Structure 1
Amino acid sequence: MADGVLTQRYPAGWKSTLATDSSVTTQGVWVDDRFRFADAPHRYTVDDQASLKWNFSGTSLVIRLAGQNTSSYPGTGLPSHGKLSVYVDGELSNTVYPAREGREFIAATNLASGTHELLLVHTTTPDSKGVRVESFLTADQPLGIFSFAVTAELQEYLNDVRFIVSKEGRIVRSSVGRNWLTGNCSISLPAGQAFDIRIEALGWDSQLITTPIINQNTPSNSPPVYLRRSPNTTQYRFRSPRLNDQSIRQPGEDFTARFLGFDAKINEVRIRRQNGGVIFSRVLSYIEDTEKAFYYDRQIVITLPDDTPPGVYDLEIDIVGGRRTSTCRSPSSVVIVKEYPKHPRFITFGHLDTSGQYQAEYVQRIATMANIIGVDMVLASNSVNAAYLSGALSNLQMPYLINFGNHQVYGHHRWYGPDLGGVNFGSNLFVLNYGLPWHEPIEPVVAKLEKHRHAKTKVINAFEHNAPDALLDEFRIALIHDAHGPGDKLMKMGNTPTQRVGKSNSISFRLVELFGGKVINATYNKHPTAPIPFARDEQPPLRVQMLSSTKATIINEYKQPFPKAKITFLAPQGKYVPTQGIIKSFSLSDNGRYAEVVVEIDLEASSTSSITLTPQ
């Protein structure tokens, strides 16, 4: 959900009460927990016979369990392996084992009207213990459970998913669910009806399924659902360029590509991107460097046409030759800009604990605001699960660099390559990306910077900030961004001096502006240190409402202006003049029917602006 927040939504008349609510009484040791910015808090116990008691009104009752804590964070508690006994009005109504259940189950239905008592009792066994209870759902209507399993390509990275339940096109429920230990899912729904469920996980293609008529007394089941990785996150037979090693070029310039072409014939080389399903592409000329070939590897030098529209493109190479026939593909690997920045601007953030779907949706909303602010590049530090992040950041309209630190889900290299890398942004800006602690051998970092000594402005996107002052001074590093470690988050380092810009918290981001090779701003609304605030469940304070293909309202609730903001329209082909701002770029779609028009506008603080594209 890129433009809004759809954390939890329930049918009309349902009520959700958190297990952490003061109306819920406890016996034994229970810990109030909220796993790394999960979508809701919960209560957790490992004590034998620990219990929760709650009085409620309603004829149906559903227990919602919290998500199983993932293996990436062993310090925050083990998964739930105990037994949970459910008593309603003193009678045992259900016994469940959270390790094998989905997130929801029926505790009671067809109760008499009035007040009832719920008692949950946790029982340990010699080999297992633990239960996490998130909330209780009550309703005055018959309810049933819909159960199914969700598995996926690269299953080891899929923790949870979002279920968006609709009836005749109207959303009636939305929640995050899935037991990552088993893949089992369960969601409570009104009985006697069928629903459509859209299953979403950023980085994977969504699936739409239709439930059978929901039964009241027995679970309604569905065949397993399999999610394939989204093509915009899947690299195939490419070495470079790639994510974290993007080629940033102007029209008419060259770049080098290395791919696994075997001995097949190269049929076509192209760059391709989409906006709302509309395709923008260019077929590219190339020269193969046969001396650089080895076994599977081939290398070509590609020339961009002079009329290449700006944007972030996938690079595709069609090869033909028996079983090798395929399309080699590197998503979001080529970035075309009209001009290189003289005074670059960055959006920076880090340590956002993106382990699953809810956290990834938050990152996606930051990416959407970055597109509006219209910065030159995004820098992300100390990240977690690359499978979700590659999906959350796939909508960025500018290049980005990302590194992974002490909470990483191992395997991020398959998306983002080595822990040491970097990109040239023209001849005067080089951004080094370094995801290791600075106590690691420094020689590879020195060698990488030495190759780019000529760049007038050099920036480091680091996991931690404590690079040797001698290194920072030797290469005159203007900015080091990080998201892990002590000390002042804004401070000068070394004699250059280098400006440290660190992550202050996990509910914010920064706009970092450079002028003349020096950082001139990295705080919110001229505050000495504060980042730009953005709560996890907050609607983006900076957002665009598209009223039609040629009319938009831009809302800026922040108390600071955003000059040179970018608003992108996808309009019918034609010539236009905006009622505000200037047209920064105009791109015609491949089929000639649509025009992508990017308007640059200065957004005032706490303002609402409107832009209409007027046909000429």
Structure 2
Amino acid sequence: MAHENIKEEQWLPALDEVDIKRIGDWYVDSLRGSFVESLMTVEDEAALEFNFIGQCLILCFDTLTPPNYGNFESGAIDVFIDGKLSKTLYQRNSANEITIISEDEKKDHHIRLVHRIVDSNCGCRIQGFRILTSPCGDLSFVVSGEHNFSMTDVRAILKRDNKTIRNCLIRNWLTGQCALAGLPPGQNYSLEIIASGWNTLYEKNIQIKLNEETVLSPINLTRSHDATLGAFKFPCMGHPIFKLSEGNFRMRFKAHDSKIKEVKLIRHVGPAKISRICKFQEDVDRSGVFQGLDVDAMYLLCEGSVEIPNDIPIGLYDIEITLANKANAKRKLFSRKCVNIVNEFPVDPVFMTYGHMDVWGQGPSEYILKLIELANIVAPDMVLVSNSCNPAYVSGAMNELDVPFAINFGNHQSLGKEKWFGESIGAIDIGSNLSVINYGHTWDRDLSEVKQVLDDRSDVACKIIHTFEYGAPVKEILDAHDISLFHDAHGPGPKVISLGKTPTIRVGKVDNKSFRIIRFKNGKPNSYTYENHESAPIPFPRNELPPIRIEFDEPNDGSQTKISTKVINELNENIPNARIAFILKHGEYSADNGEIENQVVSDDKQYVVVTVRLNLPANSVETIAIS
């Protein structure tokens, strides 16, 4: 249980075999993607017994098993205090924390918890117990939100007079119930609720009363930075396009019966907004005729060509379309992280890859945010994300990535991925000599669609298949289409192996706490393991800092005219051409290390984004000062 130690508090983990006696079959388990271990049972009459001295005893459940990972815990738990049945709990409708005992003075007690199977419902998952020797009160609330079907857990940060009292993952995803139990009584508490992909919520002026439960009004989280779900067919998040400035690209979206008033390419770097208005030429007038059928025009898609202005800075952009209906009421459509403007297409591309990270909720998404922090520094040409899970949390994390990416979902996927990330089969063309085919299905199905995508790129010299599962037919797919790299994150066999006559290099996922940097040379994968090992990825334990990271000496928020930083590389390999973005007040700047790639002024002329490139030697700390 991740929480701040409170004065006069003892944490008794359920895994403690010295102070806690186990009766029956209990086993240590952790949810996939979590580094927190719990004690679990599905056996009828399995029990835990222990003694304690204190005023308050709090039972701490682990998160219910998410629906895409199996059955949730649904058994009953009888709580006996000094031999007498005190209450019966059901984890499936309880908050993560429950006060078992709350008294005015310290007392000795014997506790016995007994798991029972009720109508074939079984299972409980316990992290441990908090024992307090001081007076306390509880705080409870219900959290729901937009796209509530995708919301599992949230992070709650409780402060009092700006001091953190609790910082933990909570929420019963079946009921939305949350609780922070065993809190010191008092006023001036504030609560912060964080969930990746949702806007953070703040509650202030909370009072905790002695031996009482403070119940907040229900909390509803709104989505942040979402694309207009289902509005864009292409380009869209996870299916980006690569373009030079002064070029153009195609897009298709749902305009209904509205007129297109404005099309923008827009990106944000901290508080700095950088955008350009683009010319848009619609293919045909939406007359209400679609594929030969008379239909209501409001259901028609709009398709056309976008002209990229020649003064647009390089970078990864959103599309923003302003529409107006017949009453001239305006609304906006967004497609996020989908247009990558480059000065030139890569000759020897670099990819960062990871997969099967089990992002089912807030805890795993926080690990992905650390990977994204690292990726923004490494600045590969593209990030390949394989076999992802919950698109609502994943999209929130990926919105922080300033590198184009392809993503697919696999055997633990939540429903609705298409709303955020589009079709399961597609191709990303990076110039005329490199294509990434994103394939989000198993290989035991009709392959005509992916074959057509490959046939359309028969003249492309370097082709990559990015998929969630191993098993593509070697002759029919890999050899027939000269596939250079096959990247996946699920399936048997050697994780690095040469396949077929091409040959195709398979590079697969080893575990959910590592990543790879894949470098190409002359159209072939040249480097794809760590320290020249035959198959090892780059290790990155989930509870550690990113091995490549930035430490700023001043806030990098546009408030400074001078700023300095340390760029840390703890890996045993060089990272060439790393990228650091500085946000400063409007002005002209120079750097004492590396090379300034560009200086881009924000739309409102208040900020300038200074991008510096430099090489990071293995096991090094580089400093950069901007002034």
Q: Please, what TM-score do these two structures have when normalized by structure 2?
A: 0.92
Per the TM alignment, residue 273 of structure 1 is displaced from its structure 2 partner at its CA by 1.6
Per the TM alignment, residue 117 of structure 1 is displaced from its structure 2 partner at its CA by 3.6
Task: Give identity over the alignment, percent.
Answer: 35
Q: Indicate if the aligned counterparts of 1:233 and 1:390 stay in contact, CA closer than 8 A.
A: no
Is 1:22 matched up with 2:27?
no
C-alpha separation between the residues in 2 aligned to 1:336 and 1:169? 43
Per the TM alignment, residue 234 of structure 1 is displaced from its structure 2 partner at its CA by 4.4
Judging changes above 3 Å, is the alpha-carbon distance between structure 1 residues 422 and 171 closer, same or farther for their aligned structure 2 residues? farther
Secondary structure in structure 2 of the residue aligned to 1:159: coil
Is 1:235 matched up with 2:229?
yes
C-alpha separation between the residues in 1 aligned to 2:590 and 2:7? 45
User: Residue 170 of structure 2 is aligned with which of 173, 177, 181?
Assistant: 177
C-alpha separation between the residues in 1 aligned to 2:8 and 2:380? 44
Q: Indicate if the aligned counterparts of 2:161 and 2:188 stay in contact, CA closer than 8 A.
A: no
Per the TM alignment, residue 53 of structure 1 is displaced from its structure 2 partner at its CA by 1.6
Is 1:339 matched up with 2:344?
yes
Letter in 1 for 2:199: D
Per the TM alignment, residue 406 of structure 1 is displaced from its structure 2 partner at its CA by 1.2
Is 1:109 matched up with 2:95?
no
Secondary structure in structure 2 of the residue aligned to 1:322: coil
Per the TM alignment, residue 446 of structure 1 is displaced from its structure 2 partner at its CA by 1.2
C-alpha separation between the residues in 2 aligned to 1:170 and 1:279? 33
Q: Indicate if the aligned counterparts of 2:227 and 2:334 stay in contact, CA closer than 8 A.
A: no
Give the match for residue 423 of structure 1: 428
Give the match for residue 84 of structure 1: 77
Per the TM alignment, residue 390 of structure 1 is displaced from its structure 2 partner at its CA by 0.8
Letter in 2 for 1:278: A
Per the TM alignment, residue 410 of structure 1 is displaced from its structure 2 partner at its CA by 2.2
Judging changes above 3 Å, is the alpha-carbon distance between structure 1 residues 17 and 336 closer, same or farther for their aligned structure 2 residues? farther
C-alpha separation between the residues in 2 aligned to 1:93 and 1:111? 18
Q: Indicate if the aligned counterparts of 2:58 and 2:100 stay in contact, CA closer than 8 A.
A: yes
Per the TM alignment, residue 92 of structure 1 is displaced from its structure 2 partner at its CA by 4.8
Per the TM alignment, residue 527 of structure 1 is displaced from its structure 2 partner at its CA by 2.2
Question: More deviation in 499-508 or 33-42?
Answer: 33-42
Give the match for residue 67 of structure 2: 71
Per the TM alignment, residue 299 of structure 1 is displaced from its structure 2 partner at its CA by 1.5
Deviations 1:274-310 (A, max 9, x none): 1222211111112221168843211221111112122
User: Residue 436 of structure 1 is aligned with which of 434, 438, 441?
Assistant: 441
Q: Indicate if the aligned counterparts of 1:159 and 1:355 stay in contact, CA closer than 8 A.
A: yes
Judging changes above 3 Å, is the alpha-carbon distance between structure 1 residues 481 and 383 closer, same or farther for their aligned structure 2 residues? same
C-alpha separation between the residues in 2 aligned to 1:429 and 1:145? 58
Q: Indicate if the aligned counterparts of 1:197 and 1:211 stay in contact, CA closer than 8 A.
A: no
Judging changes above 3 Å, is the alpha-carbon distance between structure 1 residues 14 and 602 closer, same or farther for their aligned structure 2 residues? farther
Q: Indicate if the aligned counterparts of 2:228 and 2:333 stay in contact, CA closer than 8 A.
A: no
Deviations 1:418-466 (A, max 9, x none): 2111211122211000011112112211100111222221111012232
Letter in 1 for 2:591: P
Q: Indicate if the aligned counterparts of 1:514 and 1:520 stay in contact, CA closer than 8 A.
A: yes
Q: Indicate if the aligned counterparts of 1:42 and 1:66 stay in contact, CA closer than 8 A.
A: yes
Secondary structure in structure 1 of the residue aligned to 2:164: strand
Judging changes above 3 Å, is the alpha-carbon distance between structure 1 residues 604 and 57 closer, same or farther for their aligned structure 2 residues? farther
Letter in 2 for 1:427: S
Secondary structure in structure 2 of the residue aligned to 1:231: coil
Give the match for residue 483 of structure 2: 477
Question: More deviation in 249-258 or 119-128?
Answer: 119-128
Deviations 1:521-575 (A, max 9, x none): 1111222221010111112121111112421111222222211111111011222
Is 1:201 matched up with 2:207?
no
C-alpha separation between the residues in 2 aligned to 1:585 and 1:428? 27
Q: Indicate if the aligned counterparts of 1:351 and 1:382 stay in contact, CA closer than 8 A.
A: yes
User: Residue 35 of structure 1 is aligned with which of 26, 31, 48?
Assistant: 31
Per the TM alignment, residue 10 of structure 1 is displaced from its structure 2 partner at its CA by 3.8
Deviations 1:222-278 (A, max 9, x none): 111111121245436322211132222121110111122233222111011212222
Is 1:501 matched up with 2:494?
no
Is 1:55 matched up with 2:60?
no
Secondary structure in structure 1 of the residue aligned to 2:91: coil
Give the match for residue 297 of structure 1: 301
Secondary structure in structure 2 of the residue aligned to 1:213: strand
Q: How does 1:152-171 map to 2 (within 5 A)?
A: 152-171=145-164
Is 1:597 matched up with 2:610?
yes
Q: Indicate if the aligned counterparts of 2:227 and 2:333 stay in contact, CA closer than 8 A.
A: no
Give the match for residue 320 of structure 2: 316
Is 1:224 matched up with 2:209?
no
Judging changes above 3 Å, is the alpha-carbon distance between structure 1 residues 541 and 16 closer, same or farther for their aligned structure 2 residues? farther
Question: More deviation in 46-55 or 222-231?
Answer: 46-55
Q: Indicate if the aligned counterparts of 2:75 and 2:91 stay in contact, CA closer than 8 A.
A: yes
Q: Indicate if the aligned counterparts of 2:469 and 2:489 stay in contact, CA closer than 8 A.
A: yes
RMSD: 2.0
C-alpha separation between the residues in 2 aligned to 1:54 and 1:218? 26
C-alpha separation between the residues in 2 aligned to 1:120 and 1:233? 47
Letter in 1 for 2:15: T
Q: How does 1:91-106 map to 2 (within 5 A)?
A: 92-106=85-99
User: Residue 592 of structure 2 is aligned with which of 579, 589, 595?
Assistant: 579
Deviations 1:549-602 (A, max 9, x none): 421111222222211111111011222221111112221100112111111111
C-alpha separation between the residues in 2 aligned to 1:12 and 1:512? 49
C-alpha separation between the residues in 1 aligned to 2:313 and 2:53? 60
Secondary structure in structure 1 of the residue aligned to 2:206: coil
**Runs of 5+ in structure 1 lacking a partner?**
1-5
Q: Indicate if the aligned counterparts of 2:153 and 2:170 stay in contact, CA closer than 8 A.
A: yes
Give the match for residue 400 of structure 1: 405
C-alpha separation between the residues in 1 aligned to 2:420 and 2:255? 20
Deviations 1:316-350 (A, max 9, x none): 11111236631121122222222211111111111
C-alpha separation between the residues in 2 aligned to 1:541 and 1:137? 34
Letter in 2 for 1:218: E
C-alpha separation between the residues in 2 aligned to 1:559 and 1:91? 60
C-alpha separation between the residues in 1 aligned to 2:173 and 2:227? 21
Secondary structure in structure 2 of the residue aligned to 1:360: helix
Q: Please, what TM-score do these two structures have when normalized by structure 1?
A: 0.94
**Runs of 5+ in structure 2 lacking a partner?**
291-296, 557-562
Q: Indicate if the aligned counterparts of 1:244 and 1:422 stay in contact, CA closer than 8 A.
A: no
Residue-pair matches, total = 606
Q: Indicate if the aligned counterparts of 1:369 and 1:540 stay in contact, CA closer than 8 A.
A: yes
Secondary structure in structure 2 of the residue aligned to 1:389: helix
Letter in 1 for 2:58: V
Q: Indicate if the aligned counterparts of 1:239 and 1:258 stay in contact, CA closer than 8 A.
A: yes
Deviations 1:124-169 (A, max 9, x none): 3335333221111123322222111111111111111111112233
Give the match for residue 519 of structure 2: 513
C-alpha separation between the residues in 2 aligned to 1:211 and 1:47? 44
Judging changes above 3 Å, is the alpha-carbon distance between structure 1 residues 9 and 248 closer, same or farther for their aligned structure 2 residues? farther
Question: More deviation in 90-99 or 16-25?
Answer: 90-99
Secondary structure in structure 1 of the residue aligned to 2:427: strand
User: Residue 583 of structure 2 is aligned with which of 563, 570, 580?
Assistant: 570
